[in-house]
Structure 1
Amino acid sequence: MNILKALEYAKKELLHSKFDSNIRVGLEAELLLSFVLDSTREWLHAWSDREIKKNEFDKFMECVYRRTQGEPIEYIIQKVSFCSESFYVDKRVLIPRPETEILVQKAQALIEAEEIFEVGEIGVGSGIISIMLGLLCPKISIIATDISPLAIEVAQINLNAFATSSNRLKERITLMHTDLFEGVKSLPKLLISNPPYIAKNYLLSENVLYEPHTALFGGKNGDEVLQAIIEFGGQKGIKFLACEIGYDQKECMETYLLDQGYQGVFYKDLSGFYRGFIAYLQ
C-alpha cells in the first residue's frame, strides 16, 4: 500500500470515531503518518506513491485506532504547537491550549513595561509558559514549580530542547518540585500561573479526561488553587500576578483580588470570554 492509499484508508477509520466529533480527518491522518514516518506533511504529498512497509503501516493503524478511541492527537504524536513553536507533550502533562498564548503575550508586555527581571511560575506543566517567556524576554530569570514530579520531567525535556549557549535558558530557568511556591527562598516580582480551574463535578468530554486530573480540576468550586495563589501573593507582597481563569470566574476572582490588596485587569479570549487577569498590588 502506498502513502496515498494509506491516508485514504485512515480517513475512513477516523471519520467513524465514536468519541471525538472534532477530528479533522484529512489533517490528522497526515499528522499521524508524518509521525510514524518521521517526515512532514509536505513530504507525504510529494511522495504519495511511495510504498509503506508493513511495520510502518501497522504502527500507523495503531495510532489511528488510539485516535478513534478519543486519545488526543497531541499525546499520540507527542507534539503540540504553541506560540509558533513545537513542544513535546505526553500524558504526564496538560495539553497547552491556544488561549494560554494570550497569557504569555500579556505577561511579556508587563515584563517589558515594568522592567521585571524575576519571574515565578506555579504549575509549570510542560514548561511552555516559562520557556516562551525566557525566549521572548532574555533578561529575566524564572523559578518554575509544579506539584507533579512527572510534569517536571516533561518540562525538563522541553527546556533541554530549547536551551542554547546563547539564550542560556538552563541557567535562567530553575525547575522545582513543590506545592505552590513552598520552599522557594527568592520571591519574584511577577508570579504567573495557568492553574487547574475546573470545578470537581464539571462534566468534561472523553478526550479531555485523558489529561492529568491534577492539572484540570481546581477543587470543589474550581477556584481553590487560584485563591491560594492570590493569597500567597498578597501575604508575600508579590507586586504582579498574571493568571488564566475559567470563563465564569471573573466576578469571584475580582472580589478575591481586592480582598488581598490587588487591582485586577481582566482580558478576554478570542471567543469573547474572560480568560485571565493581570493584577497589581496596591
Structure 2
Amino acid sequence: MNVFEAIDYSRRELSQNQFDANIRVGLEAELLLAFVLKQRREWLHTWWDNEIQESSFDELSDCIARRLMGEPLEYIIGKTSFYGEEFYVDKRVLIPRTETEILVEKVLSLITDKRIKYVGEIGIGSGVISIMLALLCPSILINATDISMQAIEVAKINISRFATHSNNLKKRIKLISTDLFEGVDEIPELLISNPPYIANNYPLSKNVLFEPSEALFGGICGDEVIKRVIDFAKSKRISFLACEIGYDQKKSLEAYLSKNTYEAFFYQDLNGLDRGFVAQFRN
C-alpha cells in the first residue's frame, strides 16, 4: 500500500463515524497518516506513491479505530493549533478552542493599553494562554495556577518547547499547583481565567467526554467557578479581570460583577454568542 492508497483507506474508514457529522474526513485522514509516518502533511502530497510499511499501516488502523470511538484527533496525534502555533496536548488537559484566541486578543490589547507588567492565570491547562501572552508581551511576568498537577506537567512541556535564551519563558511563567490563586503571594494587576463553565447536567458529545471533567464542568449552573474567581479578584482588589464564559451566562455574571464593583465589557465569539468579559475594578 502506498501513501495515496493509505489516505484513501483512511477517508473511507473515517466516513463511517457516528459521533460527528461534521468530521473533516480528508484532513483527518492526512493528519493521522502524517503522524504515523512522522512526516509533515505536505510531505504526503509530494511522495504519494511511496510504499508504507506494514507496521505503519497497523498503527494507522489503530489510530483510526481510536478516532471512530470518538477520541479527539488532537489526543491521538498529540498536538493542536492555537493562535498560529502548535502545542502539545494529551488527555490530562482540555483541548484549546478557537474561542479562547479571542480572550487572548482582548487581554493583549488590555496589557498594551494599561502597560500591565504582572499577570495571573487561574487554570493554565496546556499553557496556551500564558505562553502566547508571554511571547507577545516580552516584559510581562506571569504566575499561573492549576488545581491539577497533571495539567501543570503538560504546561511545563509546552513552556519548554517555546522557551529560548532570549524570551526566558521558564523564569517569566511561574507554575503553581493550587486551587484558584491560594498561596500565591504576588497580587497581579490582571487576572485571567478560562475556567470550567459547563453545567454539570449539560449533555456533551461523545468526543468532548474524553476531556478531563474537572476542566469542563463548573457546577450545577456552570458559572460557580467563575463567581469564585470574581470573589477572589475582589478580595485582593485586582485591577483587571478577564474570563471566558458560557454562552448563556452573561446576565447572571454581569449582575455579579456589578455587585462586586467590577465594570465589565462582554464580548462575543465568531458565532455571535456571548463568550467572555474584560472587567475593571472600581473603588
TM-score bucket of the superposed structures, by smaller chain: over 0.9
Who is 1:4 aligned against? 4
Any idea what SS the aligned residue of 2:76 has? helix
Any idea what SS the aligned residue of 2:199 has? coil
In the comparison of the two structures, how many residue pairs are matched? 282
Distance 2:91 2:55 in 1: 25
Amino acid at match of 2:163: A
Any idea what SS the aligned residue of 1:119 has? strand
Structure 1 position 19, deviation (Å): 2.0
Who is 2:27 aligned against? 27
Who is 1:248 aligned against? 248
Who is 1:119 aligned against? 119
Distance 2:18 2:244 in 1: 31
Structure 1 position 40, deviation (Å): 1.3
Distance 1:79 1:164 in 2: 20
Structure 1 position 42, deviation (Å): 1.2
CA deviation vs aligned residue, 1:183-231 (integer Å, no higher than 9, x gap): 0001100000000000000000000000000000001110010000000
Structure 1 position 20, deviation (Å): 2.2
Distance 1:42 1:155 in 2: 28
TM-score of the superposed pair, with normalisation by structure 1? 0.99
Any idea what SS the aligned residue of 1:121 has? strand
Any idea what SS the aligned residue of 2:75 has? helix
Structure 1 position 115, deviation (Å): 0.6
Unmatched runs of 5 consecutive residues or more in structure 1: none
Structure 1 position 96, deviation (Å): 0.2
Distance 1:66 1:23 in 2: 14
Structure 1 position 68, deviation (Å): 1.0
Amino acid at match of 1:65: A
Amino acid at match of 1:265: F
Any idea what SS the aligned residue of 2:131 has? helix
Who is 2:104 aligned against? 104
Any idea what SS the aligned residue of 1:218 has? strand
Unmatched runs of 5 consecutive residues or more in structure 2: none
Who is 2:281 aligned against? 281
For the aligned residues, what is the CA RMSD?
Answer: 0.5
Distance 2:254 2:137 in 1: 28
Maintained 8 Å contact 1:20/1:68:
no
Return 21-30 or 119-128, whichever deviates more: 21-30
Distance 2:272 2:20 in 1: 24
Aligned runs of 1:173-192 on 2, under 5 Å?
Answer: 173-192=173-192
Moved beyond 6 Å, runs of 4+: none
Amino acid at match of 1:181: F
TM-score of the superposed pair, with normalisation by structure 2? 0.99
Amino acid at match of 1:208: V
Aligned runs of 1:62-101 on 2, under 5 Å?
Answer: 62-101=62-101
Amino acid at match of 1:205: S
- Work out the percentage of aligned pairs sharing the same amino acid: 62
Who is 1:156 aligned against? 156
Structure 1 position 63, deviation (Å): 0.5
Amino acid at match of 1:10: S
